[in-house]
């Protein structure tokens, strides 16, 4: 009985060794198998490896070109931004005397951060010039990770639509502005614009909610007093209905 147990233990140990340490012939067989596979599918493997390598190079090249283009765009924008700050809007929009037009920069470098910012400058310039559809077109091409600036862009688009008497689209963009990164400094102003747009659209209940939001949620903001007045006015109009 003890001898049988000893034999089983020895067999178990031999089995473990057999599975844990591959034999030399087994290693050679595996190597031959992989060599055979490689020879059979060599062309496919090389094509796949080439595609991967080209993809990696393309991504790296695109990133390099994008970064280089962004720097070029920033350099091109230096003079137009200076004129924009001086309120020389014709210079901003048309260029001249060594300065490129901001719309040209925006279009040429539209895939860069600087190029997208050029759309913002262009849109604001057109808004100030009273060219509201051009302002909308450019501001809609602008997008940024700067949440405050993005919300301002939505509000400005709303302003342009208000000037075009397109109240429904103005409401749409004012609503986007109020929802985008709410804060006590700028959001109350967007709600005030939204409330006015609702009033003009004969939606007094929504206007009341907009003014109430400012009065109740942002009581310390500079718009709070006007919000309370407008809220009371709208409540009076609703009571008359």
Q: Look up residue 102 and give its two tokens.
A: 């901001």
Residue 63, Cβ neighbours under 10 Å: how many? 10
Using CA atoms in the order 71, 76, 78, 80, what is the torsion angle rounded to 10 degrees?
Answer: -140
The Cα 56–Cα 46 span in angstroms is 15
Closest by alpha carbon to 138, among 124, 150, 154? Answer: 124
pLDDT digits (tens, 9 = 90+) for 184-195: 999 999 999 999
The Cα 45–Cα 52 span in angstroms is 11
Q: What single-letter DSSP state applies at residue 180?
A: S
The Cα 226–Cα 230 span in angstroms is 6
Q: Look up residue 11 and give its two tokens.
A: 């067999």
Residue 36, Cβ neighbours under 10 Å: how many? 10
pLDDT digits (tens, 9 = 90+) for 164-217: 999 999 999 999 999 999 999 999 999 999 999 999 999 999 999 999 999 999
Q: What single-letter DSSP state applies at residue 96?
A: B
pLDDT digits (tens, 9 = 90+) for 71-96: 998 999 999 999 989 999 999 999 98
Question: 152 near 177, Cβ under 8 Å?
Answer: yes
Residue 74, Cβ neighbours under 10 Å: how many? 18
């Amino acid at each position: 009985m003890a001898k049988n147990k000893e034999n089983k233990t020895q067999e178990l140990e031999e089995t473990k060794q057999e599975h844990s340490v591959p034999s030399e012939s087994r290693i050679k067989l595996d190597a031959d198998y992989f060599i055979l596979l490689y020879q059979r599918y060599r062309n496919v493997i090389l094509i796949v490896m080439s595609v991967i390598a080209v993809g990696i190079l393309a991504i790296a090249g695109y990133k390099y070109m994008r970064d280089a283009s962004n720097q070029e765009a920033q350099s091109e924008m230096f003079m137009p931004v200076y004129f924009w700050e001086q309120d020389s809007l014709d210079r901003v929009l048309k260029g001249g005397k060594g300065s490129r037009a901001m719309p040209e920069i925006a279009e040429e470098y539209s895939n860069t951060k600087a190029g997208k910012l050029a759309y913002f400058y262009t849109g604001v310039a057109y808004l100030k010039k009273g060219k509201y559809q051009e302002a909308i077109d450019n501001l809609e091409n602008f997008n940024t990770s700067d949440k405050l600036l993005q919300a301002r862009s939505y509000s400005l688009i709303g302003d342009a639509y208000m000037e075009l008497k397109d109240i429904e689209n103005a409401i749409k963009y004012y609503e986007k502005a109020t929802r985008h990164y709410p804060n006590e400094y700028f959001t109350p102003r967007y709600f005030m614009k939204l409330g006015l747009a609702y009033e003009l659209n004969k939606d007094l209940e929504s206007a009341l909610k907009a003014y109430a939001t400012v009065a109740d949620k942002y009581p310390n903001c500079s718009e709070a007093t006007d919000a309370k007045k407008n809220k009371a006015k709208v409540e009076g109009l609703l009571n008359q209905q």
